[in-house]
Amino acid sequence: MALDDRSYEEVRTKAELAKKASKQVARLSAKERNNILLAQADALLAATDKILEANRLDVARAKEKGATSAFVDRLSLSEQRVRDMATGLVQVADLPDPLGVALRKWRLPNGLDIAQIRVPLGVVAVIYEGRPNVTVDVTGLCIKSGNAAVLRGSSDAIESNKALVDVLTEAGEAAGCPHGAIQLIHSVSRESARHLMRMTGLVDVLIPRGGAGLISTVVENSTVPVIETGIGNCHIYVDAMADLAKASKIVLNAKLQRPGVCNAVETLLVHSSVAEQFLPTICASLREAGVELRGCPRTRALVEGVAEATDEDWQTEYLDLILAIRVVDSLDEAIEHIERYGSHHSDAIVTQDYDAARRFADEVDSAAVYVNASTRFTDGFEWGFGAEIGISTQKLHARGPMALPELTTGKYVVLGDGQVRG
């Protein structure tokens, strides 16, 4: 059997198991689903040493390949990050049950009662890159929302993902999770990802999480419906009426707290009336933290040693300690820049001007728009969702951090008493 054939057989077999299990997961009560998550949370904590040992293998391999520090940070687990994953499962378990909720209901003049209720999507597949926490987030959200999960991570995190899925599966099934509800594709070949994209009839929705290349490949090649998670070319605009102390705090947090994630800021826009006062100070702080700066001619005139920014820089999601800076003359110019170069993910304004804040919030067409706050908050955990399955930048079905409601769809239930249509 050829390698590609083995890859296809693995993907097909695991998708079939997930499809069968999805019917059983959907029939579990809210209490049963919550108990599964709580058991999995306890198991993660108990297996911390096993998980970290597997993760060390992935991290060592990544470093040997010369991976960037930001990439290694996304890949790395620690005792605290394992605790955070377990806490996320507990928080998801504590959230209200999304299933069976009546989205709307009404009675027709003929006596028919119609209700639209939330039901699971079925089998949710996720293709993602080197972030092991995604494995736990997706599993928890899928079980809570009555779905089965098919996971296809990258080669960079394969040992971590295997360890995590082993722990989640064993603990979940011991607590009543149907066999097959959590599936990890072990093959990390490109063919395995393409096979998963074509499992129409077995996979109900496919969600890509990763860089622009992965996302575009999935969108262009999948025959399975896709919820597109976008890249994060995020902006912060420091307005003419900004509190510059607040602005400095927000910019430093948005760039430095975790530079390798999609909600980190990549471009700083500064109004010309405050640029001379603000830029030398913020650039000094950024440089001290190891950030490489690339700026427009006006920025470079105000701050020595800033590299020249190209058109490509304005479009780039760096996921690293690099920041592009541009001086603008108006709120209109800032909004125009964001519309032209942004990815519609997360963008922020720092201002004390109510009218400017309102216009920015109204006119910037992004999944999340912030006023006087860091873009780093675009996160399901931070927003109280317990976890997220991704951040959607599209407009159909879901937008922004996707959690429990976004993993459901609607079904109409119509109750009658013998009515027939005339």
Q: What CATH number corresponds to the domain at position 251?
A: 3.40.309.10
Determine, yes or no, domain membership for 408: no
**Structural domain span for residue 32:** 3-229
Q: Are strands 102-107 and 113-120 parallel, antiparallel or unpaired?
A: antiparallel
119 membership: H or E segment, kind and range: strand 113-120
DSSP letters along 29-79, please?
A: -HHHHHHHHHHHHHHHHHTHHHHHHHHHHHHHHHHHTT--HHHHHHH---H
Decide which of 229, 257, 275 is a domain's last residue.
229
State which residues of the chain have pLDDT below 70: 1-4
Regarding whether 351 and 336 lie in a shared domain, the answer is yes
Regarding whether 196 and 59 lie in a shared domain, the answer is yes
Determine, yes or no, domain membership for 301: yes
Round to the nearest angstrom and report the end-to-end CA distance of the chain. Answer: 60
Determine, yes or no, domain membership for 399: no
Rg (CA), the chain: 23
Determine, yes or no, domain membership for 170: yes
Q: Are strands 123-128 and 148-152 parallel, antiparallel or unpaired?
A: parallel
Regarding whether 268 and 196 lie in a shared domain, the answer is no
d(CA 293, CA 287): 8
Kindly report the pTM of this predicted structure.
0.85
Determine, yes or no, domain membership for 385: no
Q: Decide: 294 and 303 in contact? Cβ < 8 Å.
A: no
d(CA 326, CA 342): 14
Backbone φ and ψ for 374, nearest 5 degrees, come out as: -75, 145
Regarding whether 242 and 225 lie in a shared domain, the answer is no
User: In CATH, what number is assigned to the domain containing residue 118?
Assistant: 3.40.605.10
Regarding whether 276 and 213 lie in a shared domain, the answer is no
Residue 70, pLDDT score = 80
Decide which of 168, 200, 229 is a domain's last residue.
229
Regarding whether 260 and 302 lie in a shared domain, the answer is yes
Residue 69, pLDDT score = 86
Q: How many C-beta atoms surround the C-beta of residue 13 within 10 A?
A: 12
Q: Which of 360, 384, 363, 381 is nearest to 372 (CA)?
A: 360
Determine, yes or no, domain membership for 402: no
Give the DSSP letter of residue 309: P
Give the DSSP letter of residue 137: H
Q: HEC string of 246-267?
A: HHHHHHHHHHHCCCCCCCCEEE
Regarding whether 81 and 25 lie in a shared domain, the answer is yes
Q: Which of 277, 285, 307 is nearest to 294 (CA)?
A: 307
Decide which of 172, 201, 229 is a domain's last residue.
229
Q: How many C-beta atoms surround the C-beta of residue 353 within 10 A?
A: 15
Regarding whether 263 and 182 lie in a shared domain, the answer is no
Q: Are strands 205-209 and 123-128 parallel, antiparallel or unpaired?
A: parallel
d(CA 346, CA 279): 22
Instruction: For Cα atoms 266, 133, 161, give the angle at the middle one, nearest 5 degrees.
Output: 125
Residue 273, pLDDT score = 98
Residue 1, pLDDT score = 43
d(CA 346, CA 233): 8
The torsion region of residue 145 among left (phi > 0), alpha (psi -120 to 50) and beta comes to: alpha
Regarding whether 320 and 178 lie in a shared domain, the answer is no
Regarding whether 29 and 80 lie in a shared domain, the answer is yes
Q: Decide: 302 and 280 in contact? Cβ < 8 Å.
A: yes
Angle, helix 30-46 to helix 133-144, in steps of 10 degrees: 160
Q: How many domains does the chain have?
A: 2
Regarding whether 249 and 210 lie in a shared domain, the answer is no
DSSP letters along 218-237, please?
A: HHHH-SS-B-PBPP--EEEE
Determine, yes or no, domain membership for 413: no
Determine, yes or no, domain membership for 416: no
Q: Are strands 234-238 and 368-371 parallel, antiparallel or unpaired?
A: unpaired
Regarding whether 181 and 65 lie in a shared domain, the answer is yes
Residue 4, pLDDT score = 67
d(CA 78, CA 48): 9
